A and B are shown apart, each in its own frame.
Chain A
Amino acid sequence: MRLVLEAEQEDLRAAVRRLLADRSSPAAVREVMASERGDDPGLWKSLADLGLLGLVVPEDLGGAGGGHVERSVVLEELGRALTPTPFLASAVLATDALLAVDDAAARAELLPALAGGERVATVAVAEGGAAWDRSGGATTATERDGGWRLDGTKAPVPAGAVADVVLVYASTSDGPGWFAVDAGADGFTRTALTTLDPTRPMARLTFAGTPARRLAASDPAAALDLVADLAAVALAAEQVGVMARALELTVDYAKVRVQFGRPIGSYQAVKHGLADVYSAWEHSVSVLRYAAWTADHDRAELPLAAALAQTYVGPACFDAAVAMVQYHGGIGYTWEHDAHLFYKRAKSAQLLLGPPSSHRARLADRLGV
């Protein structure tokens, strides 16, 4: 098991950090999050040009043929910068779903377009706040008029309002299935939702007899499990980046903010709290490297590692963001300061795949408790 990045992976990190310093500065993030679309198509093209959208896509399908460790490095950087981007929806969830099912035609048609940034896709599984339902939930797919039709509602769906293609996990009369829906399909409506995290737009998708293409999948629920596990790892990468930046900014502030004649970082109450955040970050990086390594090299261990990643990193990231707001004091509570964006991203990420207890329960299951 390798827990330390290779030199090329560090180079990748440096390249992404440079790009985001240039294109996704705090001011740019504010501008994008206030825009109607909620992401930056120019940046999306740059990510595609650098080959970052297809990192886990095989080379013959237009990807880089790289791995999850590389993708996690990119996600760390996107998390650090709080970049509003459909990366998680398209380059993670939808890409992983297409690779997890057994539909070579759909892969050949969609993956090159996703990796190239020409199309944005997402995955629609959640129906409310609970953890993903392996049954397919209340959204149903029925075969009629010579094709499959979807009925029901999926929410919250990341990048649901901008996606060109939606991969829907729905119930059929003989178990769950995966379906691809074009954004222009009849009976398909989407409503932008108000979000806790203003840097991650989400939508409600409604299907009313919407024509859909069924994706061949020998075991749709197993594919869902894989998508969920890889999402847990990807999200942990974002969270590690969020933590790192929240800690850096807070340490910088604690060195210069003077109260009672001393920098506040010299007080043990503050210093020890920041030491705890640092410790949690070091642990989180270690868990992330392990989880990403299993995604590349040990799929049998991935389910355990993924549950571990969200059990450990999810709360640790929010703690770091809480500390950021707290140690900034009043200024940290203002809209003007970025601390609230870290706070909202951290809480939203922690809950995106279901309540924290669902990750702990899954971890217990996978440990054989």
Chain B
Amino acid sequence: MTVVEEKGSGEYRSRVREWLAANVPPPTAGLPPADYLRVAKEYQAALFAAGFAGITWPKEVGGQGLGPAEQQVFAEEAAELDLPTYPLLIGMGMCGPTLVDLGTPEQKQRYLPPLLRGDEVWCQLFSEPGAGSDVASLQTRAERTDDGWVLNGQKVWTTNAQWADYGAVLARTDPDQVKHAGITMFILDMHAPGVTVRPLRDMSGKSPFNEVYLDDVHLPADAVIGEVGRGWQAAVTMLGHERVSIGASRPSRSSALGFEAVLALARREGATADPAQRERLAELYAHERALELLNARMRQETQAGHPPGARGSVAKLAAAVQLRRAIAVAGELAGADVVAWDPEDGHGADLARGINSAPASSIAGGTNEVQHNIIGERILGLPKEPQVDRDVPFRQLRVGTQGGAR
């Protein structure tokens, strides 16, 4: 069944559909990273050549100059396909749109066309060991030199840094200001001397993100994105694009924690005649379907000119909570079958991967707790907690787990 009726843009939709049908690369699962990256860049180049790269970006920077409706048509048509978009995701979804909004004409001409063509990969360097949910407490510092800035500090959870040619980095440029005021966003050449990328292994055993060490890295004066001291505003712009980017994506139906997969597990376990298990399955389906319908409704509202804004947090939070619900139901069905399995049993491995990857959804892109705050404060208008760090120069604040003033 289709969740959203196909309305408007009929001609555009059929063009997208035809092009995708002819250009989906072969499956990338199991490819070595270098080959995967190559396939991803080639796919992006093909998108660009066909006029489907940067759908909403202005024409003068190489984009298509179209609106969110076309973007959504493309996202809908691509949703069920396994496309190698991951390496370019941060650049296309976050850094690029931010440069469109805030970049100088020179920055746009230099960086956006290669990004659209798949020539250059970007990453985003915001989080730090001491600055997670509270990104504005970041300690990486950029100090002025005669011909630019010198950057020192450490970033973490940097997705795709291992492949990246450039990054958008947030650094503190004035520790005597309050914490949100003394920050600047820069373009960082990831190949510059002093940039060290170390993969971080996550609890599922994969290494999707990295630690990035920044030791006396030289930044030219024209590396500033937006204005000096207005890096927080630039970050908010970028996070807005991130929310759109996450909101447009749909959970993969192949996940071992999706309803269809859990139902298949129930069938394998011979549990579908058990009334209690049937009820659990029904409840799991109800929550998954309700979320699908909410996403579909928000897409329809977007098409009607009302983008969801902070309500995107509702869907993000619900998706994370749904994984926990699915883990509970799958556990009831599998019992000790997910404690141990034969090495060649793909079902056991898939379910274990699902269980072990689930916490990422509750943390990455804003924790469940932060999403709750966004819903409570920005949607419901509830008052913020008293902020003890709001009016204090950053130099005097306690940060992370490092205690004391610095």
A contact residues vs B (CB 8 Å cutoff): 1-4, 251, 254-255, 262-263, 265-268, 270-272, 274-276, 278-279, 282-287, 289-290, 301, 307-308, 311-312, 357, 360-361, 363-364, 367, 369
Q: Is the CB of B304 within 8 A of A4?
A: yes
Among B37-45, B87-95, B174-182, B290-298, which stretch is in contact with chain A?
A: B290-298
Q: Is the CB of A369 within 8 A of B281?
A: yes
Q: Is the CB of A263 within 8 A of B383?
A: yes
Q: Is the CB of A4 within 8 A of B301?
A: yes
CA distance A262 to B287 in the complex (A): 35
Extra inter-chain contacts (18) besides given A3-B297, A266-B384, A312-B289, CB under 8 Å = A3-B300, A4-B300, A4-B304, A251-B380, A251-B381, A263-B383, A265-B380, A268-B373, A275-B372, A278-B379, A279-B318, A283-B314, A287-B293, A290-B293, A308-B286, A361-B278, A367-B263, A367-B285
Instruction: Point out the residue from A279, A284, A363 that lies within 8 Å of B285, measured CB to CB.
Output: A363
Top 4 A-B residue pairs of the complex, sorted by shortest distance between their CB atoms: A271-B376, A275-B375, A265-B382, A286-B293
Query: In the assembled complex, how far is the CB of residue A287 from the closest CB belonging to chain B, in whole angstroms?
Result: 5
User: Does B386 sit within 8 A of A, measured CB to CB?
Assistant: yes
Query: In the assembled complex, how far is the CB of residue A284 from the closest CB belonging to chain B, in whole angstroms?
Result: 7
**Which residues of chain B have C-beta atoms less than 8 A from A360's C-beta?**
278-279, 282-283, 286
Take A1-B4, A312-B287, A369-B263 as given contacts and tell me if A364 and B375 are in contact as well, using a CB distance cutoff of 8 Å.
no
Take A1-B5, A279-B314 as given contacts and tell me if A286 and B386 are in contact as well, using a CB distance cutoff of 8 Å.
no
CA distance A308 to B294 in the complex (A): 14
Take A255-B381, A279-B318, A289-B297 as given contacts and tell me if A266 and B386 are in contact as well, using a CB distance cutoff of 8 Å.
yes
**Which residues of chain B have C-beta atoms less than 8 A from A308's C-beta?**
285-286, 289-290
Q: Is the CB of B283 within 8 A of A4?
A: no
Report 16 cross-chain contacts, Cβ distance below 8 Å, ordered by A residue.
A1-B4, A254-B382, A262-B383, A266-B386, A271-B373, A274-B382, A278-B375, A283-B318, A287-B289, A287-B290, A311-B282, A312-B290, A360-B278, A363-B286, A364-B278, A364-B279
Instruction: Point out the residue from B272, B314, B373 that lies within 8 Å of A369, measured CB to CB.
Output: B272
Nearest A-chain residue to B297, judged by Cβ: A3
CA distance A275 to B382 in the complex (A): 10
Query: In the assembled complex, how far is the CB of residue A69 from the closest CB belonging to chain B, in whole angstroms?
Result: 13
User: Does B147 sit within 8 A of A, measured CB to CB?
Assistant: no
Instruction: Point out the residue from A2, A265, A278, A283 that lies within 8 Å of B5, measured CB to CB.
Output: A2
Q: Is the CB of A364 within 8 A of B281?
A: yes
Q: Is the CB of B294 within 8 A of A282?
A: yes
Nearest A-chain residue to B295, judged by Cβ: A286
Q: Is the CB of B4 within 8 A of A266?
A: no
User: Does B385 sit within 8 A of A, measured CB to CB?
Assistant: yes
Q: Is the CB of A282 within 8 A of B311?
A: yes
**Which residues of chain B have C-beta atoms less than 8 A from A265's C-beta?**
376, 380, 382-383
**Which residues of chain A have C-beta atoms less than 8 A from B123's C-beta?**
none
Interface majority SS (helix, strand, loop, mixed), chain B: helix
CA distance A255 to B376 in the complex (A): 11
Q: Is the CB of A262 within 8 A of B266?
A: no
Nearest B-chain residue to A358, judged by Cβ: B279
Query: In the assembled complex, how far is the CB of residue A170 from the closest CB belonging to chain B, in whole angstroms?
Result: 28
**Which residues of chain B have C-beta atoms less than 8 A from A272's C-beta?**
369, 372-373, 376
Q: Is the CB of B286 within 8 A of A312?
A: yes
**Which residues of chain B have C-beta atoms less than 8 A from A311's C-beta?**
282-283, 286
Q: Most chain-B CB neighbours within 10 Å: which of A251, A265, A286?
A: A286
User: Does B377 sit within 8 A of A, measured CB to CB?
Assistant: yes
Q: Most chain-B CB neighbours within 10 Å: which of A265, A276, A278, A279?
A: A279
Take A282-B314, A312-B290 as given contacts and tell me if A268 and B282 are in contact as well, using a CB distance cutoff of 8 Å.
no
Nearest B-chain residue to A356, judged by Cβ: B279
Instruction: Point out the residue from A278, A286, A307, A369 that lies within 8 Å of B278, measured CB to CB.
Output: A369
User: Does B317 sit within 8 A of A, measured CB to CB?
Assistant: yes
**Which residues of chain A have C-beta atoms less than 8 A from B301's C-beta?**
4
Nearest A-chain residue to B266, judged by Cβ: A369
Q: Is the CB of B380 within 8 A of A275?
A: yes
User: Does B3 sit within 8 A of A, measured CB to CB?
Assistant: yes
**Which residues of chain B have C-beta atoms less than 8 A from A3's C-beta?**
293, 296-297, 300
Take A282-B314, A312-B290, A369-B263 as given contacts and tell me if A361 and B285 are in contact as well, using a CB distance cutoff of 8 Å.
no
CA distance A255 to B377 in the complex (A): 11
Instruction: Point out the residue from B279, B290, B380, B384 that lies within 8 Å of A286, measured CB to CB.
Output: B290
Nearest B-chain residue to A265, judged by Cβ: B382
Q: Is the CB of B380 within 8 A of A274?
A: yes
Nearest A-chain residue to B374, judged by Cβ: A275
Take A363-B285, A369-B266 as given contacts and tell me if A275 and B376 are in contact as well, using a CB distance cutoff of 8 Å.
yes
- Report B296-339 residues with CB < 8 Å from chain A CB: 296-297, 300-301, 304, 311, 314, 317-318
Nearest B-chain residue to A289, judged by Cβ: B297
- Report B364-406 residues with CB < 8 Å from chain A CB: 369, 371-373, 375-377, 379-386
Q: Is the CB of B318 within 8 A of A1?
A: no
**Which residues of chain B have C-beta atoms less than 8 A from A357's C-beta?**
279
Nearest A-chain residue to B271, judged by Cβ: A369
Q: Most chain-A CB neighbours within 10 Å: which of B281, B291, B293, B311?
A: B293
CA distance A357 to B311 in the complex (A): 31
Q: Is the CB of B296 within 8 A of A361?
A: no
User: Does B275 sit within 8 A of A, measured CB to CB?
Assistant: yes
Query: In the assembled complex, how far is the CB of residue A85 from the closest CB belonging to chain B, in whole angstroms?
Result: 28
**Which residues of chain A have C-beta atoms less than 8 A from B373's C-beta?**
268, 271-272, 275
Query: In the assembled complex, how far is the CB of residue B270 from the closest CB belonging to chain A, in whole angstroms?
Result: 13
Query: In the assembled complex, how far is the CB of residue A365 from the closest CB belonging to chain B, in whole angstroms?
Result: 8
Query: In the assembled complex, how far is the CB of residue B72 from the closest CB belonging to chain A, in whole angstroms?
Result: 14
CA distance A1 to B7 in the complex (A): 10
CA distance A301 to B1 in the complex (A): 10
CA distance A278 to B379 in the complex (A): 9
Q: Is the CB of B375 within 8 A of A279?
A: yes
CA distance A91 to B278 in the complex (A): 34
Nearest A-chain residue to B379, judged by Cβ: A278
**Which residues of chain A have C-beta atoms less than 8 A from B317's C-beta?**
275, 279
